[in-house]
Structure 1
Amino acid sequence: MTDVTVPFRAGHDGYAVFRIPAVVVTGTGTLLAFCEGRVDSAADHGHIDIVLKRSVDGGRTWGPLQVAASNGEDLAGNPAPVVLDTGRILLVHIRAAARATEDAVLRGLVEDADGRRVWVRHSDDDGVSWSAPREVTSQVKRPGWRWYATTPGHALQLGGGRVLVPANHTLPPTGTDTGAEPQYNSGHCLLSDDRGENWYLGYVDESTDGYVNVNETSAAELPDGRVYFNTRNDSRAPGTRADAHSNDGGKSLTEPFRPQAGLTAPVCEAAVLQLRDPDLLLCSGPADPARRALMTIRASADDGTTWRTAFTVDALPAAYSDLVRVDPDTVGLLYETGDFSAYETITFRRVPVHRLT
């Protein structure tokens, strides 16, 4: 039995680097592993496609690479897939001009038409083929917002049917220097109550106090119906992770994001996943406080209040990740890792549930 496979390796399949993993399991049990295929370099801008590999045996083997979303020689990135109760797979993602560097976007030097815009497409055949992309930017991006990114990682469909996609954005700087770079990040989520046909904004967190600046965010629905959000905090001072809860399906937060001292980590994305049997909330990410390394799954039995180390993969470089329930006995971890750099591969690891309890 193969517990570790490498669906994406830098320099293969026509791409220099693969980054930003996301993974879901379809209604038929097929695993869909998404990521960004960066054609020319590891940069966050340029010619980037969203690529996909499918596994019909629980991640032990993978089919050929497919392009799930492209934007010509420009950027299609930040895949946020979710499997709906109808069997349809939604893929929410970002498109931008290849030349729209993060610095230029943050400084307001990129026209709106070339900037970070939000698109949706879907698959009704288990990820084999995909619909034409449909833009929803006007529904979920307020005028003036500059940087914009979905998740990274998988999105959610809540028990009541609502689709929820965590996201982050930046605002223009205050004062007279309109070309200055904003000094803080902000967070929000996208919501749809008709399975992705129409979208609107849920909570918006735009704290500017330098204490918790919401950035890349993951979400999970808790057994009691609340939504748990866990975010990367770039302010660093009170810690690099923060979390919050919502009682109304993501429309608002019960309290603003607060530092989560139980998750020691570098500044990096992390993923969360709620298991129902056993009742356990998981969080994956690098656990070395100083660098992106030491991929670890932490577990919480109290809805994210406290955390313990449940499974340490190894001490190698590691960065972004996502989690999926493969079957009743197995959790899947899709993560960036390598011997000398975290960006050499995107690797899939099957983790027995009993190792996490």
Structure 2
Amino acid sequence: MRAKVNKNAIKIFAACIAILAVFTAGFGFVLMPAGALFAEGPADGTKPFSSEGNIGSRYYRIPALLTAQDGTLIAAMDARFGGTADSPNNLDTAVSTSTDNGATWTDCLAFSFADWENASPSLLPDGSLRILNSASVIDPSLLQDGQTGRVFMLVDAFPYATGFSSSQTGSGYTEVDGEKCLMLRKNGEENYDYTVRGDGAIYDKNGQKTAYSLNSRGEILENGTPLTITQKRQHYWYTVPFATGTGQDVPMHIFYQDALFQAYPTSYLYLMWSDDNGRTWSDPVDLNAQVKSDDAGFTGVCPGRGIQIENGAHAGRLIFPVYSADPETGDQFFSVIYSDDHGATWAAGEPVTLNETVGACMSETQLVQFADGSLQAFSRTQAGFVGTACSADGGMTWQDAQLIDELPLAAGSGCQLSAINYTGKIDGKDAVLLSAPAGDGRTNGFIYIGLIEENAGRYSINWTYKTEVTDANTYFAYSCLTQLSDGSVGLLYEQSNIAQSVDTTLFKTFTVTELTVSAVQ
């Protein structure tokens, strides 16, 4: 009888907290720090993701944007149900599509973990607020295979309580009889000495087959019967978190805190695809066994876009840029993963070599290509300028890492940027477009146009035009560019760098004339 009374008391207490949260938000106690400036009203733009959309999240971050072959705009972002903080947190992958060049949008969740309820409370502007014990996916990147039409999306995936700084060294796989097998531990045990073999069965540390197995989604079955856990709900007493159950049973995934078997706590690369231009998505496939080395700590997606090489020896190659953190030094460096069979299998290239000029960071990177199929990378650095390097072998290796003086980048930890090839000519030349914040604190966003010059088989970029999107007092954080079917340029960008900001991602379009005639000197 006592247990029943306690459960009711907990329910009443949780209800009181929920009511208090409503009143707190209603009385305007959620205040922004002084000096936080946002772009004035979205009259000249639209919002692919918002708190009023179908998904139900108040918070979104990390834009990716792609124009499909049929002209459909595909946008992807993290739906950050646990607040704007990175992993570990309750983060899912949201997609929004538009068939009218961004005038209207239709949103959905492409992938979602279910260990925590996808509620999205109004939170105080405290960047530490998050759901620490949730599994998560973060940082989308989009790429379409021009030969098959398939659209790929790559994201980072983390088990509960794991993120960038807490990712353990290793791929999460071990080799058994020449086969790479996913490592698991039994809940409550220390060692990851269970393995998942090719038939999906879980084997114990003695190599004996157990009654347990995994399906293709990473969910646990016992003798073929799916197992479940009880979903959790996050509450706050001001900024103090506590959890209750929702009463809903959800499939038991190896990334969940309460799962019977648990995955190794590191970063995983999840690949999904769509064959209907972003409207529906496949279950994710874990690429770690193919592309992540056992001596790597964090390896994650460079958010934004991938690229398909159009010409040269590696024509048709699909490429996603990724970046890693050295487990000992903390240095961050990019590389690529690539596929030469339309996404069926993937391999990893060599990382860029850092030097004194670029410093200890060339992390989140975007790629453009030249007419011969060679590549140029543009990277986030901590040196105050965009970093760059070149590849003549389809991304396998990178040379000549340096900074670009014409492209200032938000000082301090830097910021992600976007770079794309423009299809068509600008001033009679092939061109590259790049967006990034130039000001401190991720302010003063610009779109740059670089005209490609060719001399005796060598390519260079002349940064000719720049257009100010936000001024020096207005935020411009992560962004992604795309070329629309009518030749105009689309930009999806974050209008805030403040924790727990709501509805601050905007899609805008620019004509090439606006980006050249109206450019600043």
Q: 2:480 aligns with which of 322, 344, 350?
A: 322
CA distance in 2, matches of 1:66, 1:6: 14
CA distance in 1, matches of 2:300, 2:403: 22
CA distance in 1, matches of 2:390, 2:63: 24
Q: 1:310 to 1:328 in 2, by over 3 A?
A: farther
Q: 1:125 to 1:80 in 2, by over 3 A?
A: same
Question: 1:304-323 maps to which residues of 2 (within 5 A)?
Answer: 305-315=461-471, 316-323=474-481
Partner of 2:260: none
CA distance in 1, matches of 2:165, 2:156: 17
Q: 2:340 aligns with which of 179, 190, 193?
A: 193
Q: 1:231 to 1:121 in 2, by over 3 A?
A: same
For residues 278-316 of structure 1, the C-alpha deviation after alignment (integer angstroms, 9 at most, x for no partner) is 11111101121x220112101111366442442211222
Q: 2:100 aligns with which of 57, 71, 80?
A: 57
1:149 aligns with 2:304: no
Give the number of aligned pairs: 341
Partner of 1:252: 397
Q: Which amino acid aligns with 1:185?
A: Q
Partner of 2:167: 105
Partner of 1:177: none
CA distance in 2, matches of 1:165, 1:317: 28
Partner of 2:437: 286
Q: Secondary structure at the match of 1:103?
A: coil
Q: Secondary structure at the match of 1:355?
A: helix
Partner of 1:262: 406
For residues 121-171 of structure 1, the C-alpha deviation after alignment (integer angstroms, 9 at most, x for no partner) is 111112111111111111111112111211110111111110010110012
Q: Is the 8 A contact 2:48 2:506 kept in 1?
A: yes
CA distance in 2, matches of 1:304, 1:327: 27
- Percent of paired sites with the same residue: 26
Cα offset for 1:107?
8.7
For residues 23-44 of structure 1, the C-alpha deviation after alignment (integer angstroms, 9 at most, x for no partner) is 1111211101100111111111
CA distance in 2, matches of 1:184, 1:101: 16
Cα offset for 1:16?
3.6
CA distance in 2, matches of 1:106, 1:262: 38
For residues 297-337 of structure 1, the C-alpha deviation after alignment (integer angstroms, 9 at most, x for no partner) is 01111366442442211222110011111124311111111
Q: 1:318 to 1:107 in 2, by over 3 A?
A: farther
Q: Which amino acid aligns with 1:353?
A: V
Larger Rg: 1 or 2? 2
TM-score (norm 2): 0.62
Cα offset for 1:84?
1.1
Q: Secondary structure at the match of 2:303?
A: coil
Q: Is the 8 A contact 1:205 1:256 kept in 2?
A: no
Partner of 1:4: 45
Q: Secondary structure at the match of 2:319?
A: strand
Q: 1:200 to 1:213 in 2, by over 3 A?
A: same
Cα offset for 1:343?
5.1
CA distance in 2, matches of 1:231, 1:323: 15
Cα offset for 1:213?
2.2
Could you list the runs of 5+ residues in structure 1 that have no partner in the other structure? 174-181
Q: Is the 8 A contact 1:17 1:343 kept in 2?
A: yes
Q: Secondary structure at the match of 1:8?
A: coil
Could you list the runs of 5+ residues in structure 2 that have no partner in the other structure? 1-42, 116-134, 173-191, 193-262, 453-458, 517-521
RMSD after superposition: 2.4
For residues 1-27 of structure 1, the C-alpha deviation after alignment (integer angstroms, 9 at most, x for no partner) is x85112223686422421110011112
Q: Is the 8 A contact 2:450 2:465 kept in 1?
A: no
Q: Is the 8 A contact 1:40 1:47 kept in 2?
A: yes
For residues 216-273 of structure 1, the C-alpha deviation after alignment (integer angstroms, 9 at most, x for no partner) is 1011122332111000112x2xx332101111211122x2421112111211010101
1:43 aligns with 2:85: yes
CA distance in 1, matches of 2:169, 2:349: 26
Q: Secondary structure at the match of 1:204?
A: coil
